[in-house]
Structure 1
Amino acid sequence: MSTRYPFTAVVGMTDLRLALLLNAVSPAVGGVLVRGEKGTAKSTAVRALADLLPEVPVVAGCRFSCDPGAPDARCPDGPHEAGAGASRAARMVELPVGASEDRLVGALDIERALSEGVKAFEPGLLADAHRGILYVDEVNLLHDHLIDLLLDAAAMGASYVEREGVSVRHASRFLLVGTMNPEEGELRPQLLDRFGLTVEVAASREPAQRVEVVRRRLAYEDDPAGFAERWAGEEAALRERIAAARALLPDVVLGERALHQIAAACAAFEVDGMRADIVMARTATALAAWAGRTEVRSEDVRQAALLALPHRRRRNPFDAPGLDEDKLDEVLEEFGGADGDDDPDPEPEGPDGGPDGGPDGGPDGGGPGGVPPQGGGQEGPDRQTPPTGPEADAPGAPPEGPAAAPEQEPAGQPAPSAQGGEQAAVGAAEPFRTRRLDVPGLGEGADGRRSRARTAHGRTTGARRPKGALGALHLSATVRAAAPHQHARGRSGPGLVVRRDDLREAVREGREGNLVLFVVDASGSMAARKRMGAVKGAVLSLLLDAYQRRDKIGMITFRGKGAELALPPTSSVEAGAARLAQLPTGGPTPLSEGLLRAHEVLRVERLRDPSRRPLLVVVTDGRATGGPEPRLRAARAARLLAAEGTASVVVNCETGPVRLGLAAELAGELHGTAVTLDELRAESVSALVHTVQGTRSGHRDRAGHSNRRAA
């Protein structure tokens, strides 16, 4: 096995190391989610943690790591008799983003089934991770069907497998550690809540620390074994401290004052459910044990809140993560009672105890920035608690424009002329949660979270003869195909005689990402400030939904004399939000130009990626002005898009008592559907999916041909 980078040699990253060590002290804390940019030692620190964990006693020969002191009565390899067993190092099992369902939960042992004719279960990664660490890099990119299986195992502490004639249940309790880059999308709330703690990491902006990171990394790559040997003393000391904290943990007292502070903090930040309270209590207890104390203090509760609440608090889609620390201090002070011993502005201990900076040098004799992490401070430049208030506008925070609803003009402001000159950009209304809009039919695009598609990693829905190279083998279908021919093939033993004609590959269905192209009317008819603010809020909500579903997004705006590609197809919702915030209004409504520009963009994208199906979202009131016969030209452009099978939704922005119904006419020409701004909301849009599918199906039936891409 290759030599891992030592945990104690990681420079900075105090909160990250503390969160991992607290889970090593008390696995009941529930794991860690590490959020941050690439290249910040997230994976390095997690992998190094496994070397600090104590050895695990196991029943000899048990593939499911049963404890010899209390073996699992339902273990597939059991029953086991209680008694002495063997010891092994704690495992760190990595779950690849592209792993199959078979690899995660286990499956029928193909080799034994074919050679011996017996049904035997081959354990998966959930069995390997039992009593160890399950690490998921880029956890936010994990496929939905794997997330569901992971949630079930994490919730029940066991994995249940019912497939291919195999019925197995085995224990699966593990420390769940995930890393993710928030720029690539967020996690589902159900999985997010399963992580006990969360940490935000970022590269240090201090040159001295960055120099030391490079120095240590180069030294490790030149001589991994020698580098690890130089840090062996630090590793041993940290391992002993973990063992001492584990031994002290049962003696730590969580008093009534600390319990009230925990409950008050969770209530003040409006977290859902009771899991946050429980995790905070366990984390504060582990912090006290780590500090060598037998009583939980206010600083333990405060640090526990900073680690356990940021990913659980209710926030709007574009709010920056983190907690308002001033509000947290007020809550803790209000419910702290009379306790003169507590520091009113405590500095919680770092991974190795000291609130101040660490020693002047480590095994490498480094200067500033070259110290071992023992005693690293929380207030240094490597602090990872995300800022709040004005400092929250750091890279990765949402642009100011989209969330600037309070910046809208006050009531009574006169509306600009509908056909006047250019009007300044207005702020967007508050974004809201939308439901999924599917492209009808079954696609074959890149993995995502929107429309149904045949994928390589989805749920198995059937079997077929392979076309060319064999993909994922569908074992039961292969056995069924070979079984009737065993006598004719002269089978005499227990093994199954299988020929190439018998092989069947699995047909899997998951979800794909689509290209969601927004065509936004920015003409004078949309210039009423309250109206445009609502339109921007709706588009912002749809942008966020598209991004989280792994779609590519693009934006075309039209006003005046033409249309502009404001945002070429991309995966950056921040760029889309920024363009939307700066969008001015005014002038005539060249609707046909916007639709024709959309047609050209989609034509180019089909050449680049033929398998990615488009969804066109036209945001307009349906009016067409400017140029000769504007409405006729708009209808022709819409029919051109419909003829190419582009799935479309028209968001009708008409308001007021007199409505012309032009948006509905446009939707008819597009063979799509028209919805109002209110119908886009989560509570109203559930019927829209069926409408989109039904409308397009009806148009296909009337046209007498199938939709090549958008069906």
Structure 2
Amino acid sequence: MRDGSNDSKTSVQQAIPPETFPFSAVVGSDDLALALVLTAVSPDVGGVLVRGEKGTAKSTMVRGLAAVLPHQLVVADCRFGCAPGDRTACPDGPHDPATPAASRAARLVELPIGATEDRVVGSLDLERALGRGETAYQPGLLAAANRGILYVDEVNLLHDHLVDLLLDAAAMGRNTVERDGVSVSHAARIVLVGTMNPEEGELRPQLLDRFGLTVEVAAPREPGLRAEVVRRRLAFDADPAAFVARFEDDQEALRRRIAQARAGRGSVTLTDAMLTRIATVCAAFEVDGLRADIVTARAAVAHAAWSGRTTVTVADVRAAARLALPHRRRRNPFDSPGLDEDLLDRLLGDDEPDPEPDGQPDADHEPEPEPDRGDGDDPQAQPADHDGEAGESAPRPEPQRAQHESTEPGSEPGAEPESEAEAGTPTAPAAAAASGVSAADEPYRARLLRAKGVGKGDPGRRSNALTSTGRRVGSTSAHTGPVHLPATIRAAASRGGEATGRLLVLPGDVRRSVLQGRESNLVLLCVDASGSMAARKRMEAVKSAVLSLLLDAYQRRDKVGLVTFRGAGAELTLPPTGSVDIAARRLRDLPHGGRTPLAEGLETAYDTLRLERLRDPNRRALLVVVTDGRATSGSDALARATRVAAQLRHEGVESVVLDCESGRFRLGLAARLAEHLGAEHLPVGDLAASAIVGAARTARPATGRAA
């Protein structure tokens, strides 16, 4: 569900329909299958985050998991699914011990990314409140997911205010509602399972840490395995009932094995030696806090129970650490999650061969991987050419630092001309030879750049907008949103009615709050990578500035895009995406050299913004042009650039020009470009927030002396 529907009947899967793809029929996702099974064996592990490219059966496996979970006993007619004998406070309680228990299938509750806050936590039952004058609570999705699985597809796109609600519920195991005259607290012991495509953006660190385990999935590269995946999918689509029946024995065996592991988990012994090894591994990977140690220990116990052992071994710890630590190790914002498995093996050492579990069901079709498999045999290991990401966190080679000397014969080191126009028109081979790759300096905290006015885009942290959370600035008669009680009372009072001495509030009197907060924007970076940018090591400063803007966009939950122009044209190096780490990698490897096709760069930016406006009309864009303002590609290059800039201004595009010109003699071309764009002109040295603070500190003593 991606439409934000409030119909609970479509969000809560009470029973798994027969057309659900069987969990045991999925091939090529062994790590994901193991992580989900361990969570099923021990729900206190804390859930699973599944990261991977589209079309890798992430959602298929999560939805199939509910079909192999054991049934659970609940108190009859309890809306919160309390277990018989549970003495935890319940709004439908206290429950009489003599109340008959009912058996139900494990629940899988899907949380749409467009769901409202009321639908998630529950709210005041307006029908009973307005019709009968009763204050009654209507449970939300957290209540429905109690003792079950709460599944969020595309969890990285979830609104920040919903993320905060999930954080509270996952941490406390309870949901507390204090709003609209309702004060309710109920159990919300949920297993949080989320899937995401990293190309669409990363998760907030707080939510990332709440997931007990994480798995990186990718499509298998082996042709035979890919063919088997397609073969099974086609067979399922042709006759779902026959396909499900074909794997029913495997499903039942898996269901029994999970139940046996749950029952045997309490008898598994975690020795002090194994606990010390877990602490050693977590300390070596520099994870923050102690949650990683706790989750690894719980997952190791669950893995031992799943394997039929009564004592945790090194193999169990290794399997648990591979799933519990990658997303918790300390890393920079642009670093991808991963784990150095060679370091893990050195820390754990060897262990005796695992004993064969007695009396286990046939696992020919079960998705359990070998816990101590080498990297070369792991079908989940990502290939080296998979967008530059690998399963291990080996340090990336430093890009080769470009030489900033002129490539023209007879020129002296460091004397590269400011532009090709100053050095004459180079031939094509000479222009190609002038290209290079500069390393970037360390990013810094950038000053806040924001769009003007008030928008209505997705919640974020950059520009002012009307959002679902924030400061109340008015009321409306819309049918959704939090109730504006004073406005509702005023509407009922102004309507009048019978002189009964009581205020009669009708459904038409209800007013909703209009809230103003912050929105996320599309930050499109248009970067000049021509030869003039290599003079005086400008490209290093440019890359540092753009990396700082990317870091700022990451923190403010923006989408980013990257347009570069050099040589004979411009290129959309990175289409707009929520993954700023991919943009950072593209930027680090960005070559420079050649002429300056400024007009082509602005035209590419204009076309990109036009398409994005069609895709998402509510998301406002901020164009950041990083250039020295020179235009040297073509006889009328500057005139064409001026015309495109005027067109962008006419379309109302918010723009900022980062002026990269340096030296004693400056032409001021970037400032003129900013005038044509109607943009803010900002020297690249003033982008750092510390520059504003430094200027203020310098101005205060001068002001004091003048007084």
TM-score, normalisation: structure 1: 0.78
User: 1-side partners of 2:584 and 2:223: how far apart?
Assistant: 33
SS at match of 2:437: coil
SS at match of 1:328: helix
RMSD, matched Cα: 4.4
Tell me the residue number matched to 2:493.
484
**Residues 436 and 593 in structure 2, CA contact (< 8 A), matched pair in contact too:** yes
User: 2-side partners of 1:211 and 1:495: how far apart?
Assistant: 69
Gaps of at least 5 residues in structure 1 are: 360-370, 691-711
Query: What letter matches 1:452 in structure 2?
Result: N
Q: What's the CA shift for 1:439? A: 1.9
**Residue 564 (structure 1) aligned to one of 558, 566, 570:** 570
**Residue 146 (structure 2) aligned to one of 100, 118, 130:** 130
User: 1-side partners of 2:240 and 2:606: how far apart?
Assistant: 56
**Residue 498 (structure 1) aligned to one of 468, 488, 506:** 506
Tell me the residue number matched to 1:265.
281
SS at match of 1:62: coil
Taking structure 1 as reference, are residues 293 and 530 closer, same or farther at Cα in structure 2, changes over 3 Å only? farther
Q: Does 1:620 align with 2:627?
A: yes
Q: Does 1:105 align with 2:116?
A: no
Tell me the residue number matched to 1:397.
389
How many residues are treated as equivalent by the alignment? 647
Any idea what the Cα deviations from partners look like across 1:474-504, whole Å, max 9, x if unmatched? Answer: 4746742553268725889x9956364x353
Q: What's the CA shift for 1:245? A: 1.7
Q: What's the CA shift for 1:49? A: 1.8
Q: Does 1:342 align with 2:382?
A: no
Q: What's the CA shift for 1:122? A: 0.5
Q: What's the CA shift for 1:289? A: 1.5
User: 2-side partners of 1:57 and 1:642: how far apart?
Assistant: 64
Tell me the residue number matched to 1:532.
539
Q: What's the CA shift for 1:510? A: 5.5
Tell me the residue number matched to 1:78.
93
User: 1-side partners of 2:298 and 2:47: how far apart?
Assistant: 12
**Residue 243 (structure 1) aligned to one of 225, 247, 259:** 259
Any idea what the Cα deviations from partners look like across 1:426-451, whole Å, max 9, x if unmatched? Answer: 14426647566432331134666643
User: 1-side partners of 2:648 and 2:321: how far apart?
Assistant: 52
Query: What letter matches 2:416 in structure 1?
Result: S
Taking structure 1 as reference, are residues 259 and 9 closer, same or farther at Cα in structure 2, changes over 3 Å only? same
Taking structure 1 as reference, are residues 57 and 592 closer, same or farther at Cα in structure 2, changes over 3 Å only? closer
SS at match of 1:405: coil
Taking structure 1 as reference, are residues 526 and 201 closer, same or farther at Cα in structure 2, changes over 3 Å only? same
Q: What's the CA shift for 1:239? A: 2.2
**Residues 170 and 189 in structure 2, CA contact (< 8 A), matched pair in contact too:** yes
Tell me the residue number matched to 1:507.
514
User: 2-side partners of 1:477 and 1:228: how far apart?
Assistant: 56
User: 2-side partners of 1:325 and 1:592: how far apart?
Assistant: 48
Query: What letter matches 2:436 in structure 1?
Result: A
SS at match of 1:527: helix
Q: What's the CA shift for 1:459? A: 5.6
**Residues 104 and 126 in structure 1, CA contact (< 8 A), matched pair in contact too:** yes
**Residues 517 and 617 in structure 1, CA contact (< 8 A), matched pair in contact too:** yes
Q: What's the CA shift for 1:653? A: 3.6
SS at match of 1:66: coil
User: 2-side partners of 1:223 and 1:597: how far apart?
Assistant: 48
**Residues 442 and 451 in structure 1, CA contact (< 8 A), matched pair in contact too:** yes
Q: Does 1:327 align with 2:360?
A: no
Among all aligned residue pairs of Structure 1 and Structure 2, give the percentage whose two residues are the same amino acid.
Answer: 53
SS at match of 2:592: coil
Tell me the residue number matched to 2:300.
284
User: 2-side partners of 1:568 and 1:11: how far apart?
Assistant: 32
SS at match of 1:392: coil
**Residues 462 and 508 in structure 1, CA contact (< 8 A), matched pair in contact too:** yes
Q: What's the CA shift for 1:138? A: 0.9
Q: What's the CA shift for 1:176? A: 0.6
Tell me the residue number matched to 2:524.
517
TM-score, normalisation: structure 2: 0.78
SS at match of 1:169: strand
Q: Does 1:408 align with 2:401?
A: yes
SS at match of 1:177: strand
Q: Does 1:191 align with 2:200?
A: no
**Residue 189 (structure 2) aligned to one of 173, 179, 203:** 173
Q: What's the CA shift for 1:146? A: 0.7
User: 2-side partners of 1:486 and 1:539: how far apart?
Assistant: 57
SS at match of 2:85: coil
Aligned counterparts, 1:692-703, within 5 A: none
Q: What's the CA shift for 1:517? A: 3.0
Tell me the residue number matched to 2:464.
452
Tell me the residue number matched to 2:416.
417
Q: What's the CA shift for 1:530? A: 4.4
Taking structure 1 as reference, are residues 569 and 257 closer, same or farther at Cα in structure 2, changes over 3 Å only? closer
Any idea what the Cα deviations from partners look like across 1:74-118, whole Å, max 9, x if unmatched? Answer: x22223344554132221111011111111011111221122111
When structure 1 is superposed on structure 2, of 238-247 and 595-604 the one drifting more is: 595-604
When structure 1 is superposed on structure 2, of 438-447 and 661-670 the one drifting more is: 661-670
User: 2-side partners of 1:529 and 1:261: how far apart?
Assistant: 52
**Residues 620 and 651 in structure 1, CA contact (< 8 A), matched pair in contact too:** yes
Taking structure 1 as reference, are residues 81 and 563 closer, same or farther at Cα in structure 2, changes over 3 Å only? same
**Residues 168 and 175 in structure 2, CA contact (< 8 A), matched pair in contact too:** yes
SS at match of 1:240: helix
Tell me the residue number matched to 2:291.
275
Any idea what the Cα deviations from partners look like across 1:208-229, whole Å, max 9, x if unmatched? Answer: 4334334433444454444434
Query: What letter matches 1:392 in structure 2?
Result: A
Q: What's the CA shift for 1:672? A: 1.8
**Residues 515 and 569 in structure 1, CA contact (< 8 A), matched pair in contact too:** no
